[in-house]
Amino acid sequence: SAVISQKPSRDICQRGTSLTIQCQVDSQVTMMFWYRQQPGQSLTLIATANQGSEATYESGFVIDKFPISRPNLTFSTLTVSNMSPEDSSIYLCSVGKYNEQFFGPGTRLTVL
Amino acid sequence: QKEVEQDPGPLSVPEGAIVSLNCTYSNSAFQYFMWYRQYSRKGPELLMYTYSSGNKEDGRFTAQVDKSSKYISLFIRDSQPSDSATYLCAMMGLTGGGNKLTFGTGTQLKVEL
């Protein structure tokens, strides 16, 4: 398995601002993922972040809105840019080990 | 139609009951099947992981996969109040999507004393 931490655990932000979420893993992993979980809905993959390459975004998500960094094998950031109330959600990072994925505790974001 | 369908519940059972949680799916490319447990205000925790068809048992939990019917189940025996959580099924294919997981919406379970 893997121990994953996220910062911040929660935040309340104003419309139009940006928030950067950090994800730290206790071991080196190749694949990291960012998900969004909205109330009553499935977890939705935003992007896959592999170290040394550009993040791969899923349909409906773009780099300008959700820029991702992956500077090394234990760390990644997701920025939610120019936020609107529709971005209020839980954002989760996960790591892939073999064919299993392990999740962090999530960042609960509220946009006013 | 969603790729993965899961009854959102809520499902309420008495302590000690056998719980059956289910998901159906439409994508025949899915080969890996997972069940996650998510407590309120926590991240999903990997509970069971199964490759292809068959059964897998871990303590009070049994995962079943029937690929011919595109149907997976999670059984919880002797359910406890601590099992109260949302259970998410997730699936992954061998090709194309890499390690991309497709999730159900989750079933909320409450085990009552």
Report chain A residues whose CB lies below 8 A from the CB of B36: 103
Q: What Å distances lie between residue A70 and A2, A52, A74, CA to CA?
A: 17, 7, 8
- The whole-number pLDDT of residue B94 equals 66
Q: According to the model, what pLDDT value does residue B59 have?
A: 96
Q: Residue B41: its chain A contacts at CB < 8 A?
A: 106, 108
Residue A85: strand, helix, or coil:
helix
- Give the distance from CA A109 to its chain's centroid: 12
Q: Is residue B25 less than 8 Å (CB to CB) from chain A?
A: no
CB–CB contact B46 A102 (8 Å):
yes
* Segment holding B110, helix H or strand E: strand B107-112
* Contacts with A36 from chain B: Cβ below 8 Å: none
What span, in angstroms and rounded, lies between the C-alpha atoms of A106 and B86? Answer: 15
Q: Which residues of chain A have pLDDT under 70?
A: none
Reading chain B (113 residues) residue by residue, the pLDDT tens digits are: 789 999 888 999 999 999 999 999 999 989 999 999 999 989 999 999 898 888 999 999 999 999 999 999 999 999 999 999 999 999 988 654 456 899 999 999 999 99
B106–A103 CB contact, under 8 Å: no
Alpha carbons B25 and B68: distance in angstroms, whole number? 11
Query: For the segment A45-56, what is each residue's pLDDT rounded down to a tens digit?
Result: 999 998 878 899
Contact B43 A42 (CB under 8 A): no
